[in-house]
Amino acid sequence: MSFNIALGSRVRKSPFHDSTVQAGVTMFSIYNHMYMPVSYGDLEGEYWRLIEGVSMWDVAAERQVQLEGPDAGKLAQYLTPRNLSKLRIGVAMYLPMCDHQGVLINDPILLKLSEDRFWFSIADTDMIYWVKAVAAEAGYDVVVTEPDVSLLAVQGPKAVDVIADLFGDQVRKMRYFHFTETQLDGIPLVLARTGWSKQGGFELFLQDGSKGNELWDIVAQAGKLHDIGPGTPNYIERVESALLSHGGDNDPESSPFEFDLGRYVDLDQKADFIGKQALKKIAAEGPPRKQIGIFIEGSEIFFNEHPWPLYHGDRDVGKATVACYSPRLKKNIALALVSVDVLGERELTVETPEGRRNAVITEIPFF
């Protein structure tokens, strides 16, 4: 079953939009009120390009929430359970954001641009309203905005060669999660060694939305030598790598402890943060669910339209949130959120639209 997506002014176009259309994008989702390319029509080819070569992605939909002002650092810390005391300028951190009940409400990376300027680079929810409300009602001296910043990702093992051709060989020494403010042919941007894949790469935080297609062309041109091609956040690779898709894998009952994110919750730090008391209670009791991996038997799974219920015997024990066929493992794999009481088990069944199938619990990430 396939459907068209409506185009209209309620949803924003990315600064790279026209370039992605020219490059042959076939499918979009909407993410942070912006059209986000999710396929160019060759899912497996795009996968192998990311695994073995280099791929360029319009991920402008990963919007920034900027905190600027004397209390920016204090507010940033109040907004996350991760301990930011050692975060230096020029470094980013991946972290959970929680509400006052300890529910996971976003999993951004945080970039410290200066002592009084930070960007939360956010997943798909309007965190700007959350941050604005907290800042204003709790009295932080901070201005909260969505700046004109749009991400172009260059991902894959050969990404470093493309970026070195563009910015010089010193980028080869950049450490993971480090970034620098720079420019390319006069286009202002932040170059960061980050990205939503485990294949290595960089993200260009374009700081002038009018230059999107120009930046796209520069990268595409430099990438030709390395056989760069258009791609998107990759459905298969992210399952293999067990990268969290906020809102897909977690739900409004989830704490960070249900995911690998739990290790970024520092309950012992001196600083106060939203959800501290609630998270202490959840940590003491243990989270009721955990994310696991499963192998699913039977014919190749293309994708799942919605979470598939999981059973142990006849008992509903959770859901497979995302499933696919892994070309490297040559097996169907899935991420699942299950009751902790089945963690000792080996076999479950999963309800697919074509009927129940056997599933075997395994560890994640798959790679």
Of 3 and 175, the one with the shorter C-beta distance to a copy of itself is 3
Of 1 and 284, the one with the shorter C-beta distance to a copy of itself is 1
Q: Which of 69, 94, 116, 125 binds a copy of itself (CB under 8 A)?
A: 125
Beta bridge partners of 332: 296, 325
Q: What letter would DSSP give residue 174? A: P
Q: Which of 59, 122, 322, 359 binds a copy of itself (CB under 8 A)?
A: 322
Question: 293-306 b/e with 16+ CB inside 10 Å = b?
Answer: bbbbeeeebeebee
Of 78 and 167, the one with the shorter C-beta distance to a copy of itself is 78
1 lines the binding site for a copy of itself (CB under 8 A): yes
Q: For a copy of itself, what does the binding mask look like between residues 21 and 60, x meaning CB under 8 A?
A: x---xxxxxx--x----xx---------------------
Count of residues of this chain found to bind a copy of itself when the rule CB under 8 A is applied: 54
Which residue in 221, 228, 229, 222 sits closest to 163, CA to CA? 222
Q: For a copy of itself, what does the binding mask look like between residues 134 and 163, x meaning CB under 8 A?
A: x-xxx-------x-----------------
CB neighbour class for 145 (10 Å; exposed up to 12, middle 13-18, buried from 19): middle
Write out the binding residues for a copy of itself, residues 231-250 only, by CB under 8 A.
Answer: 235, 245-249
Q: Is the backbone peptide bond immediately before 365 cis, with ω within 30 degrees of 0?
A: yes
**Per-position DSSP letters for 311-347, written without gaps between them:** EETTEEEEEEEEEEEETTTTEEEEEEEEEGGGTT--E
Of 174 and 261, the one with the shorter C-beta distance to a copy of itself is 261
Token pair in block for residue 215? 């930046």
Binding site for a copy of itself (CB under 8 A): 1-13, 21, 25-30, 33, 38-39, 99-100, 105, 124-127, 129-130, 132-134, 136-138, 146, 235, 245-249, 252, 274, 303-307, 321-322
